[in-house]
Amino acid sequence: MNAREVARVLGLEPLAFPHPEAEVGGGFCSDLLSRAMAEASPGDAWITYQRHLNVVAVAKLKELSLVILARGPEPEPEVAARAEEEGVNLLRSDDGMFELAGRLYALLAGDPETHPAERG
């Protein structure tokens, strides 16, 4: 599933979206950059509450498909600008990390409950 489809289904707001066709193969949740550097895999969607430039650097280094900023304030404008420059998909949600993680997991696992058009 690509980043555009994940964004659509989860109702994410793009802040920087230079590669909407990036394939999302898994997910990762953490606010510790060191954990993301050690454990996130290329192609993952990273869900975090962090909103600073180092998030973009880690996402680029780890070749993540997208970063989802969970509930909270808008990041500083330079964060979205840097994400665009670096080719990092950066999206935000009003939902918390727990809900986003559950919905992303279900979506990637093919749970029809995450696809409103497929509900019976």
15 falls within a domain: yes
Judge whether 33 lies within some domain: yes
Residue 60 within any structural domain of the chain: yes
List pLDDT tens digits, range 44-76: 999 999 999 999 999 999 999 999 999 999 999
Q: What is the domain count for the chain?
A: 1
Q: What is the rounded radius of gyration, in angstroms, for the C-alpha atoms of the chain?
A: 13
pTM summary value: 0.91
What pLDDT digit, counting tens, does each position of 69-117 carry?
Answer: 999 999 999 999 999 999 999 999 999 999 999 999 999 999 756 555 4
Evaluate the CA torsion angle 50, 99, 18, 26 in order and state its sign: positive
Burial (Cβ within 10 Å: 0-12, 13-18, ≥19) of residue 67? buried
Q: Is residue 98 part of a domain?
A: yes
Number of alpha carbons in the 13 Å side-chain half-sphere of residue 87: 9
- Residue 120 pLDDT class (50, 70, 90 cuts): very low
Whole-number Å distance between alpha carbons of 73 and 84: 19
- Flag whether 116 is in a domain: no
